[in-house]
């Protein structure tokens, strides 16, 4: 029988229960979660066979020689490819049998956000998640950080491809210089955190370290992949967070990633974000400290962190501590109802409710607190979306099945009464989905 623990396991850690999922795992919800903390050889089947970022970027390289019309057509094709990827990624979440693993993918993807708010990122953003995030969600933080910073999507998104050492051969010839966008966000968002104890000099120095980190051109070894352009790399020693980095080309960056991973501020920053995502908007200090200790002791073993989250009692205390994001809301509703939404509807729903995948408003990613998501407009939009879904579903007493699948262990008597009093099946279903219980995790 479904319990508060099976609700939390499937809803907070997972992506919302499918029919029967709570009953199946109720005997040991924590074990079900721990089983999902394993590396996967293959991406979810929904994502199999999609083009790599190199495929896209090689096309982009070729586009330089295209006419205006061809360029337009190529741009349109990439937008189409992106929408397809968004739909398939959402489908992967809806179908996932290991939803905790999928949630970890989404969490880390959001932590290391790239966004199509920069149009260069169309199509590549999805490939980035498959290539740089997915393989490492239960691996090591340093490996993920390294994969992210070797990936063309991040190098494009935060302008590192334009950053050139002013004293490098390329810089001198072209009178160009540093762009510190990526360096700043690495320190502020990806590792130490905004109060993590770094100064402007550290940003500049990291930017110098990362000069030359770019995308392969046609004449490079890996066109459309990562390339280190030594001729753009700022020569000379750098000093990051008080540590001197003698000139060593690409190795400087790799050393810096290791140092940032071992920095206590990074442990604290990551622990806080994980606790906020899996425990509460204002996570308890004790839990954050425990997670930070695990991060430090294991030097960023993400599987160990995921396991300790599962064992963190605070994560099991309040079944409705978190508000679902629009993505959580849509995915959990479709998992629970089994409504087969076509790709257009899927993408359209997420756009309408304000969270199109890979379109976060800033490098900080999507916010992870309830007050950011729930305002007057969002409240109505979600209810109306629920009503539309209810009208599509509306089988006899389908709302009862929906309650049993989802909020049964935690539903209040007054919510149940309001649902039962609905004048039609469609509205009853809508009220289940709009209920405060369903909209939380």
Site map (CB under 8 A) of another protein, residues 218-247, x = contact: ------------------------------
143 binds another protein (CB under 8 A): no
**CB distance 183 to 203 below 8 Å:** yes
CA-closest candidate to residue 206, choices 226, 167, 234, 231: 234
274 binds another protein (CB under 8 A): no
- Backbone φ/ψ region at 10: left (φ over 0), alpha (ψ -120 to 50), beta: alpha
Cβ count within 10 A of residue 68? 7
383 binds another protein (CB under 8 A): yes
Specify the residue, 120 or 276, whose C-beta has the smaller distance to another protein: 276
Question: Shortest Cβ distance from residue 163 to another protein (Å)?
Answer: 39
Under DSSP, the state recorded for 313 is: G
381 binds another protein (CB under 8 A): yes
Q: Which helix (H) or strand (E) holds 227?
A: strand 226-228
- CA dihedral (390, 393, 396, 399) in degrees, to 10, reads -50
Q: Which of 71, 174, 231, 344 binds another protein (CB under 8 A)?
A: 344
Who contacts 252 (Cβ-Cβ below 8 Å, separation ≥6)?
209, 238, 245
Specify the residue, 266 or 405, whose C-beta has the smaller distance to another protein: 405
Site map (CB under 8 A) of another protein, residues 394-423, x = contact: x-xx-x--------------xx--x--xxx
> Which residue stretch of 17-25, 189-197, 238-246, 386-394 sits at the interface with another protein (rule: CB under 8 A)?
386-394
86 binds another protein (CB under 8 A): no
- Backbone φ/ψ region at 103: left (φ over 0), alpha (ψ -120 to 50), beta: alpha
Specify the residue, 204 or 381, whose C-beta has the smaller distance to another protein: 381
Under DSSP, the state recorded for 159 is: T
Who contacts 135 (Cβ-Cβ below 8 Å, separation ≥6)?
39, 147
Task: Output the furthest CA–CA distance in the chain (Å, rounded).
Answer: 75
> Which residue stretch of 121-129, 267-275, 304-312, 383-391 sits at the interface with another protein (rule: CB under 8 A)?
383-391
CA-closest candidate to residue 33, choices 229, 398, 366, 303: 303
Helix, strand, or coil here: 243? strand
**CB distance 160 to 166 below 8 Å:** no
Specify the residue, 26 or 389, whose C-beta has the smaller distance to another protein: 389
385 binds another protein (CB under 8 A): yes
CA distance linking residue 402 with residue 398, whole number of Å: 6
Question: Shortest Cβ distance from residue 352 to another protein (Å)?
Answer: 7
Token pair for 114: 């790239």
Site map (CB under 8 A) of another protein, residues 105-124, x = contact: --------------------
H helices of 298-359, in order, are 302-311, 326-337, 343-352
> Which residue stretch of 1-9, 34-42, 103-111, 373-381 sits at the interface with another protein (rule: CB under 8 A)?
373-381
> Which residue stretch of 110-118, 261-269, 301-309, 393-401 sits at the interface with another protein (rule: CB under 8 A)?
393-401
Specify the residue, 52 or 381, whose C-beta has the smaller distance to another protein: 381
Site map (CB under 8 A) of another protein, residues 313-332, x = contact: ----------x---------
Please report, for residues 63, 168, 171, 242, 248, the alpha-carbon distance to residue 218 in angstroms, rounded to integers and kept in the order given: 12, 22, 21, 38, 25
Question: Shortest Cβ distance from residue 386 to another protein (Å)?
Answer: 9
CA-closest candidate to residue 358, choices 3, 109, 28: 109
393 binds another protein (CB under 8 A): yes
Q: Which of 348, 364, 367, 368 binds another protein (CB under 8 A)?
A: 348
Q: Which of 165, 363, 428, 441 binds another protein (CB under 8 A)?
A: 428
Rounded to 5°, the CA angle 266-270-272 comes to: 115
Question: Shortest Cβ distance from residue 380 to another protein (Å)?
Answer: 5
Q: How many residues bind another protein (CB under 8 A)?
A: 43
Binding residues for another protein, rule: CB under 8 A, are 323, 344, 348, 352, 370-371, 374-381, 383-385, 387-388, 391-394, 396-397, 399, 414-415, 418, 421-428, 430-431, 434-436, 439
């Amino acid at each position: 029988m479904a319990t508060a623990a099976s609700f939390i396991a499937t809803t907070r850690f997972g992506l919302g229960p499918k029919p029967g999922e709570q009953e199946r795992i109720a005997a040991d919800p924590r074990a079900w979660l721990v089983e999902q903390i394993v590396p996967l050889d293959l991406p979810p089947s929904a994502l199999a066979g999609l083009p790599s970022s190199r495929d896209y970027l090689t096309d982009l390289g070729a586009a330089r020689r295209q006419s205006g019309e061809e360029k337009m057509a190529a741009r349109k094709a990439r937008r189409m490819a992106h929408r397809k990827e968004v739909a398939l990624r959402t489908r992967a979440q809806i179908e996932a049998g290991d939803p905790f693993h999928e949630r970890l993918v989404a969490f880390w993807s959001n932590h290391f956000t790239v966004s199509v708010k920069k149009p260069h990122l169309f199509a590549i953003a999805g490939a980035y998640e498959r290539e740089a995030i997915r393989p490492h969600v239960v691996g090591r933080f340093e490996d993920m950080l390294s994969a992210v910073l070797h990936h063309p999507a991040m190098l494009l998104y935060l302008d590192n491809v334009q950053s050139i050492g002013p004293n490098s051969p390329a810089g001198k010839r072209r009178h160009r210089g540093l762009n510190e966008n990526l360096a700043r966000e690495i320190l502020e968002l990806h590792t130490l955190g905004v109060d993590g104890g770094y100064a402007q000099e550290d940003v500049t120095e990291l930017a110098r370290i990362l000069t030359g980190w770019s995308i392969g051109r046609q004449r490079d070894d890996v066109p459309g992949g990562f390339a280190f352009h030594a001729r753009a790399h700022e020569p000379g020693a750098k000093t990051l967070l008080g540590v001197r980095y003698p000139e060593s080309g690409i190795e400087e960056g790799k050393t810096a990633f290791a140092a940032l991973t071992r920095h206590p501020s990074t442990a604290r920053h990551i622990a806080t974000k994980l606790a906020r995502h899996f425990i509460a908007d204002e996570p308890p200090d004790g839990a954050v400290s425990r997670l930070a200790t695990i991060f430090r002791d294991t030097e960023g073993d993400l599987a160990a962190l995921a396991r300790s989250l599962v064992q963190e009692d605070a994560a099991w205390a309040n079944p409705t501590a978190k508000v679902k994001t629009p993505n959580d809301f849509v995915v959990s509703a479709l998992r629970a109802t089994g409504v087969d939404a076509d790709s257009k509807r899927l993408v359209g729903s997420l756009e309408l409710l304000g969270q199109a995948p890979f379109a976060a408003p800033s490098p900080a990613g999507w916010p992870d607190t309830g007050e950011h998501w729930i305002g007057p407009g969002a409240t109505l939009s979600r209810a109306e979306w629920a009503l539309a879904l209810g009208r599509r579903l509306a089988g006899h007493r389908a709302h009862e099945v929906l309650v049993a699948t989802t909020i049964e262990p935690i539903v209040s008597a007054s919510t149940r009464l309001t649902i039962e009093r609905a004048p039609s099946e469609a509205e009853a279903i809508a009220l289940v989905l709009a209920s405060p219980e369903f909209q939380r995790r």
